[in-house]
């Protein structure tokens, strides 16, 4: 697939197959197109050419409304700057994807908070948390509705080395338990080291590294 079209293409002739339940890391320099690739995989923008299928859903054929529903049901996101809703407490932030899908499941939220070791923060607001704590809340939010795929964009970009390692370990543990596929864009070789498969994005195409 390619995006955007013609000569300005950031991604060109990119080919990627990911087996369900795997943890895939995509390495690349700043501006190499990692975020663009995640946007495409995250059904936020359709590719201009090519085939894009996630869990059997042809994303190219989906219109905006259908892509919205697809994201709501099947995808989870973890961002570098956490992007928690500042006016909601931790519990409500995590429960948000469930609410979007019309589900109320306190038990599921509590279970994930416990798994990520942040159950004691449930009533706190984002601005009172440290970076590592906020990122763990973001991971819980990405997993709470049982998505088939979680996309993480530089999830450790704002964290120190120790916290980064803890977050990656936790994320891997919980994702493995949930059987969820994880595609993580990062420029950190160390973070990528935890992945099952590693690709490098160079010149708009992917090269398998491990």
The site for other proteins (CB under 8 A) is made up of 35, 38-39, 42, 44-45, 65, 68-73, 75, 77, 79-88, 92, 96-104, 125-127, 129, 131, 134, 141, 153-154, 157-158
Q: Cβ neighbours of residue 127 under 8 Å, at least 6 residues apart?
A: 86
Which residue lies nearer to other proteins by CB, 129 or 174?
A: 129
Q: How far is the CB of 123 from other proteins (least distance, A)?
A: 12
Q: How far is the CB of 163 from other proteins (least distance, A)?
A: 14
Q: Cβ neighbours of residue 1 under 8 Å, at least 6 residues apart?
A: 11, 14, 40, 47, 49, 50, 51, 52
Report strand pairing: 181-186 vs 23-27.
Answer: parallel
Which residue lies nearer to other proteins by CB, 56 or 86?
A: 86
Per the CB < 8 A criterion, the answer to whether 115 and 139 are in contact is: no
Which residue lies nearer to other proteins by CB, 107 or 208?
A: 107
Which residue lies nearer to other proteins by CB, 67 or 210?
A: 67
Q: How far is the CB of 47 from other proteins (least distance, A)?
A: 13
Q: How far is the CB of 124 from other proteins (least distance, A)?
A: 12
Give the C-alpha separation, 93 to 70, whole Å: 20
Q: How far is the CB of 13 from other proteins (least distance, A)?
A: 22
CA angle 156, 160, 163 (to 5 degrees): 75
Which residue lies nearer to other proteins by CB, 162 or 208?
A: 162
Q: Is 122 buried (19+), middle (13-18) or exposed (0-12) by CB count in 10 A?
A: middle
């Amino acid at each position: 697939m390619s995006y955007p079209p013609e000569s300005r293409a950031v991604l060109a002739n990119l080919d990627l197959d990911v087996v369900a339940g795997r943890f895939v890391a995509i390495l690349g320099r700043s501006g190499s197109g990692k975020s663009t690739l995640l946007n495409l995989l995250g059904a936020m923008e359709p590719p201009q050419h090519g085939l894009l299928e996630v869990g059997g859903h042809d994303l190219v054929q989906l219109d905006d409304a259908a892509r919205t529903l697809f994201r709501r049901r099947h995808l989870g996101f973890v961002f570098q700057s956490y992007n928690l809703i500042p006016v909601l407490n931790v519990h409500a932030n995590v429960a948000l994807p469930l609410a979007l899908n019309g589900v109320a499941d306190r038990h599921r939220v509590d279970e994930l908070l416990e798994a990520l070791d942040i159950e004691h923060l449930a009533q706190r607001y984002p601005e009172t948390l440290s970076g590592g704590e906020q990122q763990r809340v973001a991971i819980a939010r990405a997993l709470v509705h049982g998505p088939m795929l979680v996309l993480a964009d530089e999830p450790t970009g704002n964290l120190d080395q120790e916290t980064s390692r803890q977050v990656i370990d936790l994320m891997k543990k919980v994702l493995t338990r949930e059987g969820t596929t994880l595609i993580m864009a990062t420029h950190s070789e160390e973070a990528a080291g935890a992945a099952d498969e590693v690709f490098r994005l160079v010149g708009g195409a992917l090269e398998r590294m491990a």
